[in-house]
């Protein structure tokens, strides 16, 4: 365990973020920072706004109040070129993979490479093969998304998120709907990628096993509190948290 | 976490120097020295030069990574592709080596097995078997649907009338504006086009009978069928296709409910009932359009109606409406079947909608041919 280094570069800075749908406040005053190279987990029960918070960071849902800066760019006040430059430097794995159904897994990964790089066709094919190899899907390269299992879809989703080698990856519910073995395999993959590639991960999840396995730091959102109720190392929170909801979450009790 | 700080590989400040390639001879060896940040953009620029240099150098070459400050997985793919042509790699810092090792493992994984192309005869055989099983399935579907239809006629309380009304509204009432527009324009065009040649023989007086008969017997049912296939057949296929993809149809079946009675029958019944109305509406709008043109050509309304009543019989009308009802049954059935036999994925829904429209239009044209033969034999 290395002590949090004050000079460690921050990758994401969220300041007093709020989300509102109509008159219904989802959460307010959520502030946190994500440091370079860590696996940062956003956790919480269903409907607490985890995915909305993620969408604020990737520029899909505007915050009702507050600011969020990703890789030094303010997501919601940046002009179009700055925003595009930012989008090329982040990767997103969607909950259901969100792979394009009419293309094979390989073609899905080649698409951003063709759009944003000057790599030749052969080079793109080789690079896409490497990305699929990174997530252990080499043999499924020529299959369509409809022809692979749920776990493989998520892996392929990570491979596509890795296409442009972004320093920052957002994963939405990587282990939701997977069996424990596949889910553990995915956790191992995330840790492996974080370690060997040195990328930063922001992971939204409510799978306890996953949180404890991969999370370096986490924040917990709560629907009733309409905001953040915990922040820190998930293993420490499990052992020392005093907030009843946090304790219930980590001990799998009915709150 | 310990160990993380040893791999500052992928995340590098943009101020870092972009990669350069410097190839030089060192005795018998060719040294390809890379420096700076070998990321995706750099890999794109360096790909051809490095691969070319590596091919020329072969086993005599060496790729020198001493001055490389950072490496991403695309850069690593380039280095390994070049190294596969013969040269060795040396001088990589620990962070760079970590990425290189990870990507080496990734590329070493077995490639997908190439798809085995079937010999021609086997392809023909597979196609024939597919066609046969598809035909059998279609027949089974038709049989099951007709059986359900008969059962429902025997016990009409079983039918979900509320659903039928909804589909009647969607397939019928909401198609009225389009039908009226299409019909009246069709009447106008037919009247104009036939008036030109008939004028040469002084036979403009026969335009109403010509347009009337063709609309009532052929064009009314046919064009109404095209409208139904495009508006409703495709909608049925898309709706049922989405339900199939979402396993809603399977859920119905497992709860002991018959998708045929619940999903298909109300739609098919709506198609069957609505088509004669659409065909009649289209024919009447066509006659109105024709009358308008006749008026412009100097024939009063009474001439047109006299002509029409002299040439058209109730047999023409009922023959046309009967045909329309059969077309409606066919289009709705094909649409429902296309939806229920949809595959997986978003593309399946699109495919189902396409095959519903194409299948529906082909079916009504083929049926129309059969009707022509049958009516001729029966002297209708």
Cα of first residue to Cα of last residue in chain B, in angstroms, is 88
Q: End-to-end distance of chain A based on CA atoms, in angstroms?
A: 32
Mean pLDDT, residues B67-74: 85
Assess A7–B contact: CB distance below 8 Å, yes or no.
Answer: no
pLDDT tens for each residue of B268-301: 999 999 999 999 999 999 999 999 999 999 999 9
CB A200 within 8 A of CB A37: yes
Structure tokens at A68: 């969020």
pTM: 0.69
All structural domains of chain B with their residue ranges: 7-108, 155-378
Edge-first strand listing for the sheet containing A168-172:
A90-93, A168-172, A200-205, A39-44, A217-222, A227-232
Cα dihedral B165, B170, B172, B174, rounded to 10, equals 130
| Nearest by CB: A196 against B7, B77, B111 | B7
pLDDT bucket at B156, cuts 50 / 70 / 90: confident
Q: Which of A38, A138, A196 sits opposite B111 (nearest CB)?
A: A138
pLDDT value for A8: 56
Query: In this structure, which CATH number among 3.30.70.100, 3.90.1150.10, 3.30.750.24, 3.10.105.10 belongs to the domain B7-108?
Result: 3.30.750.24
Q: Which of A163-172, B102-111, B210-219 has the highest mean pLDDT?
A: B210-219
- Per-residue b or e along B135-168, where b marks 16 or more CB atoms closer than 10 Å to that residue's CB: eeeeeebeeebeebbeebeeeeeebeeebbeebb
Inter-chain residue contact A164 with B40, CB threshold 8 Å = yes
Taking residues A235-240, report their average pLDDT: 85
> From residue B24, how far is each of B29, B65, B90 by CA, in Å?
9, 14, 15
Q: Which two tokens stand for residue A85?
A: 């430059």
**B9/A contact by beta carbon, under 8 A:** yes
A vs B: CB pairs below 8 A? 136
CA dist., res. B28 & res. B285, Å (int)? 91
Structure tokens that stand for B342 in this block = 């949809």
Average pLDDT over residues B25-49: 85
**Ranges in chain A annotated CATH 3.40.50.300:** 9-89+167-255
Query: What is the per-residue pLDDT across B9-24, written as a single tens digit (0 to 9) for each?
Result: 444 445 567 788 888 8
Tell me the C-alpha to C-alpha distance, in Å, between residue A229 and each of A69, A162, B117.
Answer: 22, 32, 59
Angle at B300 between CA B299 and CA B303, to 5 degrees: 85
Q: Do A198 and B9 touch (CB under 8 A)?
A: yes
Residue among B355, B354, B365 at smallest CA distance from B134: B355
Q: Degrees (nearest 5) of the Cα angle A117, A118, A122?
A: 105
pLDDT at A117: 85
Q: Which CATH superfamily is domain A9-89+167-255 in?
A: P-loop containing nucleotide triphosphate hydrolases (3.40.50.300)
pLDDT tens-place string over residues A154-182: 889 988 988 888 889 999 988 877 788 87
The whole-angstrom separation of Cα B55 and Cα B188 is: 73
**Interface with chain B: mutation pick from A137, A197, A201, A216, highest number of B CBs within 10 Å:** A197
Task: Answer yes or no: are the C-beta atoms of B75 and B38 closer than 8 Å.
Answer: yes
The full 3-state SS of chain A, as one line of letters, equals CCCCCCCCCEEEEEEEEEEEECCEEEEEEEEEEEECCCEEEEEECCCCCHHHHHHHHCCCCCCCEEEEEECCEECCCCCHHHHHHHHHCEEEECCCCCCCCCCCHHHHHHHHHHHHCCCCHHHHHHHHHHHHHHCCCHHHCCCCHHHCCHHHHHHHHHHHHCCCCCCEEEEECCCCCCCHHHHHHHHHHHHHHHHHHCCEEEEEECCHHHHHHHCCEEEEEECCCCEEEEEECHHHHHHHCCCHHHHHHHHCCCC
């Amino acid at each position: 365990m290395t002590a949090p280094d004050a000079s460690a570069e921050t990758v994401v800075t969220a300041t007093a973020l709020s989300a509102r749908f109509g008159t219904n406040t989802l959460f307010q005053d959520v502030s946190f920072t994500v440091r370079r190279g860590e696996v940062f987990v956003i956790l919480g029960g269903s409907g607490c706004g985890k995915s909305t918070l993620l969408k604020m960071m990737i520029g899909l849902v505007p915050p009702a109040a507050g600011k969020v800066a990703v890789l030094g760019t303010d997501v919601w006040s940046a002009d179009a070129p700055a925003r595009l430059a930012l989008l090329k430097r982040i990767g997103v794995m969607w909950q259901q993979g969100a792979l394009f159904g009419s293309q094979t897994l390989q073609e899905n990964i080649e698409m951003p490479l063709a759009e944003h790089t000057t790599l030749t066709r052969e080079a793109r094919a080789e690079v896409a093969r490497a990305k699929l190899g990174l997530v252990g899907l080499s043999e499924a390269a020529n299959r369509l998304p409809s022809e692979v299992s749920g776990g493989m879809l998520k892996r392929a989703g990570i491979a596509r998120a890795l296409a442009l080698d972004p320093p920052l990856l957002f994963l939405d519910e990587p282990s939701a709907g997977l069996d424990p073995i596949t889910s553990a395999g995915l956790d191992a993959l995330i840790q492996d990628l974080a370690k060997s590639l040195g990328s930063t991960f922001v992971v939204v999840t409510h799978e306890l096993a996953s949180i404890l396995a991969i999370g370096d730091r986490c924040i917990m959102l709560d629907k009733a509190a309409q905001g953040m109720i915990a922040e820190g190392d998930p293993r420490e929170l499990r052992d020392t948290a005093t907030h009843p909801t946090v304790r219930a979450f980590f001990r799998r009790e009915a709150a | 976490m310990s160990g993380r700080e040893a791999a500052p590989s992928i995340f590098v400040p943009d101020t870092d120097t972009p990669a350069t390639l410097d190839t030089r001879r060192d005795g018998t060896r060719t040294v390809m020295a890379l420096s700076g940040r070998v990321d995706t953009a750099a890999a794109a620029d360096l790909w051809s030069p490095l691969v070319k240099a590596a091919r020329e150098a072969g086993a005599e070459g060496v790729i020198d990574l001493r001055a490389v400050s950072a490496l991403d997985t695309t850069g690593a793919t380039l280095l390994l592709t070049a190294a596969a042509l013969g040269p060795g790699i040396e001088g990589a810092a620990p962070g760079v080596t970590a990425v290189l090792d990870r990507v080496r493992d990734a590329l070493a994984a077995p490639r997908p097995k190439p798809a085995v192309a079937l010999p021609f005869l086997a392809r023909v055989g597979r196609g024939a078997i597919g066609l046969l099983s598809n035909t059998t399935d279609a027949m089974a579907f038709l049989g099951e649907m007709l059986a359900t239809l008969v059962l429902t006629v025997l016990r009409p309380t079983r039918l979900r009338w509320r659903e039928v009304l909804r589909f009647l509204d969607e397939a019928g009432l909401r198609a009225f504006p389009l039908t009226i527009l299409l019909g009246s324009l069709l009447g106008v065009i037919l009247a104009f086009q036939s008036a030109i040649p008939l004028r040469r023989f002084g036979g403009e007086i026969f335009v109403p009978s010509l347009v009337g008969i063709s609309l009532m017997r052929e064009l009314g049912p046919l064009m109404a069928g095209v409208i139904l296939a495009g508006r409703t057949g495709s909608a049925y296929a898309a709706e049922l296709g989405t339900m199939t993809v979402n396993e809603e149809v399977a859920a119905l079946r497992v709860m002991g409910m018959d998708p045929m009675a619940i999903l298909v029958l109300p739609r098919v019944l709506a198609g069957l009932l609505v088509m004669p109305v659409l065909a009649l509406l289209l024919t009447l709008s066509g006659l109105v359009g024709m009358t308008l043109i006749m008026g412009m050509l100097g024939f009063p309304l009474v001439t047109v109606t006299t002509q029409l009543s002299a040439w058209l019989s109730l047999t023409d009308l009922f023959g046309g409406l009967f045909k329309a009802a059969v077309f409606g049954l066919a289009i709705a059935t094909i649409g429902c079947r296309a939806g229920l036999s949809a595959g997986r994925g978003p593309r399946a829904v699109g495919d189902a909608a396409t095959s519903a429209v194409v299948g529906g239009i082909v079916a009504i044209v083929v049926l129309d041919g059969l009707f022509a033969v049958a009516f001729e034999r029966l002297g209708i």
